[in-house]
């Protein structure tokens, strides 16, 4: 049997000098013996996949309100799996730690509440004056506190390097509060953020076209889409007459264009900044993983278009706004009387001195779309006439 230390050495000798190695880990919040035959970051990945929050991703909205639409659009779980496979491919190509990247990608959306970004806005509004709601911080609270599966510690007790995935846009004050140093995140963390963008920019186009929320002619104003379609037709002229296969081929080509640009630009920055160690990554003044100067404005154009024409499309907005309002009603229902909360949540107010607003927020944020619907119908929906 190959033991953990041998496995880690074996796998990690092939990594680039600036990748994160297990031996560099800043450790776990509670010290543990590492298992005999799994690396530290593999263990993090396993803990994430076995968590309750991970399973709930299946019933949380990405863009479409899942229960009201067909079953073949993305939900937060399938989005997470797409981000993970894109990120692993990029990590392997750049010589970064693929096990760590896998754990980071699988965890990256754990903190999202029900009903996508409109749900997040509803929670943030309900929490105004009470500390607000942010899905990254919520993800950290889930993996540090709320998953209860181990006798030895609360949460999943992940390594610093995996927890660091939730530090995007955190203030220096919040970083310190959650035990993070004030330096730049690893290349692995930077990479997963961009893999997330590649995944949603491209799969949202596909979902928009397949659902006929947008027509292909709507996309012709976008430089990146025109490039992808031209490349596809150059190789397969017969796709001129097969629009579905043309869309799907163009979406795949778009992933290739974005991923290829990210790899080339990241390598350029690493060499321009003469990065040779992880310490140099952490002290570098600029972000090292990124898209090139020529591609960036085209990507911004595409994202602006998706926001205006897809995320704010009446068909998407109608359901989103309906549930934004209902989520606020549900929130108010629990805040009105803490006795309405499930026992384990109510106990946090009594035993831990957590504020009622925060406990309600944690409860509602943990709900899947369909669970929130059931609770709303039960407590706030129109009552049948007796
Ligand atoms: Mg995501």
pLDDT above 60: residue 386 = no
Identify the sign of the CA torsion 18, 288, 198, 196: positive
Q: What separation in Å is there between the alpha carbon of 81 and the centre of ligand 1?
A: 10
Note whether 254 and 219 are within 8 A (CB). no
Domain-embedded: residue 356: yes
**Å from CA of 171 to ligand 1 middle:** 21
Structure tokens at 284: 């570098």
**180: DSSP letter:** -
Taking alpha carbons only, the member of 197, 182, 178, 172 closest to residue 289 is 197
Residue 362 lies in a domain: yes
- Can you tell me the distance from the alpha carbon of 357 to that of 128, in angstroms, rounded to the nearest whole number? 10
CA 19 to ligand 1 center in whole angstroms:
23
| Rounded distance between C-alpha atoms, residue 59 and residue 24, angstroms | 37
* Per-residue model confidence (pLDDT) at position 385: 54
DSSP 155: S
The reply to whether 43 falls in a domain is: yes
Separation of CA 201 and ligand 1 centre (Å): 10
In a domain, 197, yes or no: yes
Q: What is the mean pLDDT of residues 15-32?
A: 94
Digit-coded pLDDT (tens) for 341-383: 999 899 888 877 789 999 999 999 999 999 999 999 999 987 6
Span from the CA of 196 to the centroid of ligand 1 (angstroms): 5
In-domain check, residue 386 = no
Distance 330 CA to ligand 1 centre (A): 25
Closest CA to 284 of 301, 299, 266: 266
Q: Ligand 1 centre and the CA of 165: distance in Å?
A: 12
User: CA separation (Å) from 43 to 39, 141, 145, 245?
Assistant: 6, 19, 18, 40
What are the residues whose beta carbons fall under 8 Å from the beta carbon of 107, sequence distance 6 or more?
48, 54, 139, 143, 158, 162, 165, 166
> What is the model's pLDDT at position 164?
97
What CA–CA distance (Å, rounded) separates 220 from 226? 6
Quick one: pLDDT at residue 40? 93
Q: Is the pLDDT of residue 384 over 60?
A: no
Q: Give the whole-number percent of the chain exceeding pLDDT 70.
A: 97
Hey, what are 307's tokens? 């926001």
Provide the CATH number for the domain around residue 258: 1.10.3210.10
CA of 247 to the centre of ligand 1 (A): 22
Give the pLDDT confidence score for residue 15 in this predicted structure: 95
Domain annotation covers residue 385: no
Residue 115 lies in a domain: yes
pLDDT at 165: 97
For residue 54, give its domain range. Answer: 4-380
**Cα 5 to middle of ligand 1, angstroms:** 32
Measured in Å, residue 261 CA sits from the centre of ligand 1 at 20
Could you read off the pLDDT of 189-248 as tens digits, one per residue? 999 999 999 999 999 999 899 888 899 999 999 999 999 999 999 999 999 999 999 999
283 CA distance to ligand 1 centroid (A)?
Answer: 27
Name 242's Cβ contacts closer than 8 Å, sequence gap at least 6.
none
Instruction: Tell me how far apart the alpha carbons of residues 292 and 263 are, in angstroms, rounded to a whole number.
Output: 9
* pLDDT tens, residue by residue, 35-72: 888 899 999 999 999 999 999 999 998 777 654 567 77
221: CB partners within 8 A, 6+ apart: 305
pTM: 0.95
Work out how many domains the chain is built from and give that number: 1
- Residue 326 falls inside a structural domain: yes
List C-alpha distances in Å: 77 to 130, 158, 356: 30, 20, 30
């Amino acid at each position: 049997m190959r033991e953990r230390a041998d496995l880690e050495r074996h796998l990690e000798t092939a990594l680039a000098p600036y990748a994160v190695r297990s031996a560099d880990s800043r450790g776990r919040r509670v010290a543990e013996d590492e298992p005999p035959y799994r690396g530290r970051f593999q263990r993090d990945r396993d803990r994430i996949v076995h968590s309750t929050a991970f399973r709930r991703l299946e019933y949380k909205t990405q863009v479409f309100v899942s229960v009201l639409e067909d079953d073949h659009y993305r939900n937060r779980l399938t989005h997470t799996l797409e981000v993970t496979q894109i990120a692993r491919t990029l990590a392997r190509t750049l010589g970064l730690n693929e096990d760590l990247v896998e754990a980071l990608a699988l965890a990256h959306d754990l903190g999202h509440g029900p009903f996508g970004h409109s749900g997040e806005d509803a929670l943030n509004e309900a929490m105004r004056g009470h500390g607000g709601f942010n899905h990254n911080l919520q993800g950290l609270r889930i993996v540090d506190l709320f998953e209860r599966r181990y006798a030895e510690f609360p949460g999943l007790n992940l390594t610093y390097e995996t927890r660091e995935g939730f530090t995007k846009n955190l203030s220096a004050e919040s970083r310190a509060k959650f035990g993070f140093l004030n330096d730049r995140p690893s290349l692995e963390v930077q990479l997963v953020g961009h893999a997330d963008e590649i995944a949603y920019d491209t799969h949202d186009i596909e979902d928009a076209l397949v659902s006929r929320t947008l027509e292909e002619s709507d996309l012709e104003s976008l430089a990146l889409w025109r490039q992808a379609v031209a490349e596809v037709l150059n190789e397969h002229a017969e796709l001129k007459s097969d629009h579905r296969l043309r869309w799907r081929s163009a979406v795949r080509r778009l992933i290739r264009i974005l991923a290829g640009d990210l790899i080339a630009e990241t390598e350029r920055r690493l060499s321009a900044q003469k990065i040779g160690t992880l310490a140099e990554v952490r002290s570098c003044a600029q972000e090292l993983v990124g898209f090139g100067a020529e591609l960036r404005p085209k990507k911004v154009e595409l994202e602006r278009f998706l926001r205006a024409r897809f995320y704010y499309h009446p068909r998407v907005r109608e359901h989103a706004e309906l549930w934004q309002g209902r989520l606020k009603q549900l929130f108010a229902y629990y805040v009105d009387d803490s006795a309405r909360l499930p026992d384990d949540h109510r106990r946090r107010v009594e035993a831990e001195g957590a504020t009622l607003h925060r406990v309600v927020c944690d409860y509602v944020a943990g709900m899947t779309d369909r669970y929130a619907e059931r609770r709303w119908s039960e407590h706030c929906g129109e009552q049948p006439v007796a």
